[in-house]
Amino acid sequence: MQSIVTAFSRYWALCANGLDRLRPIADLAARLYVAHVFLLSGLSKVQDWETTLYLFREEYHVPLLPPELAATIAAAGELGLSALLVVGFCTRFSAAGLFVLNAVAVISYYDALASSPAALHDHMEWGLILALLFTARAGLFSIDRLVESWFRRGQPASKSA
């Protein structure tokens, strides 16, 4: 029985090690996927600004903000935060910002989303990916990781007293 446990433990460690090596690729894929979604949304807003303003006045009911300000914040956030997410710079901040934009979109446009389960599912999926990116450390393929390692190298060695 002991040898079976030992063999299983070795096999499990080998699998876990292999999966750990895939983590940076999964992180990059998640960032690129969700950034693409929000980047396209931001581009569609700025390409037809009059329609965007109409939608924010008549369809999207963003709480506490005038429609023009809400449209501007949404477009700027989708474009700027997506760009940061693509390169992995300020990833946690970017993911948190897009998470908030996504949540506000769901709240503001819930009636229409509720009648379209696929659209609501998409928003839930994006929110989950953004939450995972927000809570994870910087991925290997990110500027955040470069900055983190640069700061670590610049730290003086701690002196024991």
Residue recorded with tokens 């965007």? 52
pLDDT at 151: 87
2's tokens: 């002991």
Tens digits of residue pLDDT in 62-87:
889 999 999 999 999 999 999 999 99
What is the distance between the alpha carbons of residues 79 and 134, in angstroms, rounded to a whole number?
18
pLDDT at 92: 96
Residue 28 has pLDDT above 70, yes or no: yes
pTM for the complete prediction?
0.86
Tens digits of residue pLDDT in 96-120:
999 999 999 999 888 888 888 999 9
pLDDT at 66: 95
CA 132-91-128 angle, 5° bins? 20
pLDDT at 38: 98
Q: Are 53 and 73 in contact (CB under 8 A)?
A: no
Domain locations along the chain: 24-138
